[in-house]
Amino acid sequence: MTPAQRTLVIFGASGDLTARLLLPGVGQLLESPRGGDIQLLGVGDRPMSDDEWRQRVSDSFAAGGATGEWVPALLSATRYLQADVTKADDLRRVFAACDGLPALYFALPPAVTIAVCTALRSVQIPEGTVLALEKPFGTDLVTARELNRQLATLLPENQIHRVDHFLGKSTVLNLLGLRFANRIFEPLWNGQNIERVEIVFEEKLGLEGRAGYYDKAGALVDMIQSHLLLVLALVTIEPPSSIEPDDLRGAIAQALRATRVRGDDPSEASRRARYTRGSIDDREFVDYVEEPGVDPARGTETLAEVTLSVDNWRWAGVPFVLRSGKALSGVRKDIVITFKDVPHLPYGFEGGSGAERLRISLSPDELELEININGEGDPFVLDRVVLSTTFGAGELGPYGEVLAGILAGDPTLSVRGDAVEECWRIVEPVLTAWRAGEVPLDEYPAGSNGPAGWGTVRDVGAGEEGR
Ligand code: BG6
């Protein structure tokens, strides 16, 4: 075998994330014209034969649609190494097994990731190594800072890739094109013209056997602290000079630094709830607290909503509502920009349904702009119409896209250390208020739209059609 340029080393190779998301992403990338020649090394603390590992890789590649002629060669070359990567000697064995420049992918729980970073300090890290770390990045602001501090002693920042697969979603990236490659949006993209912004990620999926992780995270940390705050950052950033890593990541960090809980009052600006038994599409759900592995004493929420403000000239006064939940009646994955009403509708017009709305849907990938036009029949009666288009699907899925950056050593789509800390800083007051019991933990039946009253108390423009 010719030495591969990169060796992708997966720590946590026997885990669920590796099989479900990471390996299919690797397969997609290698299948695409952007894939290159890599060596793949699985590392885990459990015993697994090379053949078992190969089967796992092969199954995940097939699930991701990777069936090219290159697959058998990669499968016969890939190996599994049993190792305790919290030990320096085992890490040396891992580096010795790499033919190419190592890309160490940590598909590990945060506490183990921290232990591995500590062990890496006593190991000679080969030049050109990059690290890729899965979320959650730390478990709060203090641990995230500590992890960043440790990482900074190991490698330069641009060789550290904090992975957030939302940054690899083609629609999230399309936000940049939509905003900065068109003249019509940017002049209106501010608090003078925009009434409110809603970023919603509602799923029909429940816990799906992930209690070990999810019950300690909850909807706020699982979705809002990471993914949705990055989406908010891309909605609110100032136009960067380029989409090179320094410009783009600098703009993202700047937007996050301006973001805080609206009114600095989490008891007013946040809500939480968890699901109780119900059914969705003929699937029965038990109470969240009855799910195997859930500790009811933790009071974990499965639906979270936070209203934020972005305190700068452009966004002063605009509420940004971020909401995410599981086991809901429908899938809604949207960014909704609601514009302000016109300052004066000429007397004589009738009808119309208020201000324009731009809806960017993350799934399916589409865009809708609702506007008022003179309707059929009486020309002075206004009608609401929707202009819509679909976003082209990226050639790679989100994991493939993010992995492409990692293997190419390009940190554009990786989250910079300061941005991660900002995300924790933003949600910290909410977590504190929730722990202190200042915000009630509501309930909603699985398969409903959320707790009774949530839709109307602070309705943020979901509208019936959106639910
Ligand atoms: C993950 C969360 O990061 O993102 C899950 O842990 C969530 O709880 C998922 O379901 C949603 O992202 P996607 O891209 O799979 O829809």
Mutate to test the pocket of ligand 1, among 21, 172, 203, 275 (most ligand atoms within 8 A of CB): 203
> Are the C-beta atoms of 226 and 427 separated by less than 8 Å?
no
Q: What is the longest distance spanned by two Cα atoms in the chain?
A: 81
Distance CA 457, CA 450 (A): 12
pLDDT at 188: 97
How much of the chain, in percent, has pLDDT values that exceed 70?
97
Q: Distance (Å, rounded) from C-alpha 106 to C-alpha 130?
A: 11
Torsions phi, psi of 418, nearest 5?
Answer: -70, -30
Q: CB of 215 closer than 6 A to ligand 1?
A: no
Distance 148 CA to ligand 1 centre (A): 24
Does 134 contact ligand 1 (Cβ within 6 A)?
no
Q: Helix 170-180 to helix 229-236 angle, to the nearest 10 degrees?
A: 20
pLDDT of residue 459: 45
Q: Are 426 and 255 in contact (CB under 8 A)?
A: no
**Lowest-confidence region among 32-36, 72-76, 303-307, 429-433:** 32-36
d(CA 112, CA 116): 6
Dist CA 155 CA 34 (whole Å): 26
Give the position, in ligand 1's atom list, of the atom nearest the Cα of 135.
3
Instruction: Judge if the beta carbon of residue 365 lies within 6 A of ligand 1.
Output: no
One-letter amino acid of 432: T
- Tell me the pLDDT of the chain averaged across its residues: 93
Q: How confident is the model at residue 391 (pLDDT cuts 50, 70, 90)?
A: confident
Query: Ligand 1, atom 11: nearest CA belongs to which residue?
Result: 223
Mean pLDDT value across residues 318-327: 97
CB 323 within 8 A of CB 454: no
Predicted confidence (pLDDT) per residue in 171-199, tens digit: 888 899 999 999 999 999 999 999 999 99
Distance between CA 307 and CA 429 in Å, rounded?
12
CATH class given for the domain over 6-134: alpha beta
3 state DSSP class of 19: helix
Whether 176 and 426 have beta carbons less than 8 Å apart is answered as: no
Report the distance separating Cα 233 and Cα 262, nearest Å. Answer: 16
pLDDT above 60: residue 63: yes
**222 in ligand 1 pocket by Cβ < 6 Å?**
yes
CA 160 – ligand 1 centroid, Å: 22
Residue 326 and residue 208: Cα distance in Å, rounded? 10
Mutate to test the pocket of ligand 1, among 22, 207, 227 (most ligand atoms within 8 A of CB): 227
Residue boundaries of the structural domains of the chain: 6-134, 167-397+417-445
Q: CB–CB of 220/306 below 8 Å?
A: yes
Ligand 1 in reach of 401 Cβ (< 6 A):
no
CA 151 to ligand 1 center in whole angstroms:
26
Structure tokens at 340: 């302000």
| Least confidently predicted of 109-113, 130-134, 320-324 | 109-113
CA of 201 to the centre of ligand 1 (A): 9
How far does residue 48's CA lie from ligand 1's centre (Å)?
28
Q: Specify the 3-state DSSP secondary structure of 460.
A: coil
Task: Check if 203 has its Cβ closer than 6 Å to any atom of ligand 1.
Answer: yes
Q: What is the pLDDT of residues 157-176, one digit of tens each?
A: 999 999 999 999 988 888 99
Looking from the CA of residue 398, the nearest atom of ligand 1 is 14
Q: Tell me which of 428 and 17 has the higher pLDDT.
A: 428
**Residue 166 Cα: closest atom of ligand 1:** 14
The catalytic residue among 161, 165, 227, 344 is 227
Residue 248's pLDDT is 96
Yes or no: is domain 167-397+417-445 CATH 3.30.360.10? yes
Is the predicted pLDDT of residue 458 greater than 80, yes or no? no
From the number of C-beta atoms within 10 Å of its C-beta (0-12, 13-18, 19+), residue 337 rates as buried
Question: 278 to each of 11, 182, 205, how far by Cα in Å?
Answer: 37, 45, 12
Residue 460 has pLDDT above 70, yes or no: no
- For residue 285, the CA-to-ligand 1 centroid distance in Å is 19
Q: Is 227 a catalytic residue?
A: yes
Q: pLDDT digit string (tens) for 11-53?
A: 999 998 999 999 999 999 999 998 888 999 999 999 999 999 9
Q: What is the rounded average pLDDT of the residues 412-436?
A: 97
